[in-house]
Amino acid sequence: MGLNIQIVIDCRDPHHLAEWWAESLDWAVEPQDEGFIRSMIEQGYASDDQTTIHNGVLVWRDACAIRPPEELEVKAPTRRLLFQTAPEDKRVKNRVHWDINLAGRDKDEVRRELEARGATFLWTANEGPHSWHTMADPEGNEFCIN
């Protein structure tokens, strides 16, 4: 039996980047449970400074996740991206990145859409007849569209 996977992305602003990626992938931001967060504070497991108000809701300050919409209610999702704060800025090329399969959409059109939303075009590459664009998200994390 295969295992589920969560990919964790270090970033400066996890809530902003999670929202950007949720829109880019047509996924959804995972709701956070205000009641649970408050209970963790009341029981002494967390403190107020570990939370923030985002879009009018109490959330964990340092992390935000996204999932495919059909997996939002699943207790153990098979696909999840978790964005968490990191103390340092990104300095070098990612050793791991993801490729986004555009399911037949025109990659130049998608490139323009992503750039309009804050992505950066880095380069175009090809292998035989197959080509792709390498891009960076608003915080500089590389990804490819093909």
**DSSP state letters, 84-129:** EE-SS---S--SS-EEE--TT--HHHHHHHHHHTT-EEEEEEEETT
pLDDT averaged over every residue in the chain:
94
Cβ(84)–Cβ(8) under 8 Å? yes
Residues 123 and 44: their CA atoms lie apart, in Å, by 49
Q: pLDDT per residue over 8-34, tens digit each?
A: 999 999 999 999 999 999 999 999 999
Nearest to 145 by CA among 125, 127, 128: 125
Q: Can you give the pLDDT at residue 1?
A: 63
Q: Can you give the pLDDT at residue 89?
A: 82
Q: Can you give the pLDDT at residue 65?
A: 97
Residues 24 and 91: their CA atoms lie apart, in Å, by 24
Nearest to 85 by CA among 67, 63, 66, 53: 63
Residues 144 and 110: their CA atoms lie apart, in Å, by 11
pLDDT at 2 over 80: no
Q: pLDDT per residue over 22-67, tens digit each?
A: 999 999 999 999 999 999 999 999 999 999 999 999 999 999 999 9
Q: Is the pTM of this model over 0.75?
A: yes
Q: pLDDT per residue over 81-128, tens digit each?
A: 999 999 888 888 888 889 999 999 999 999 999 999 999 999 999 999
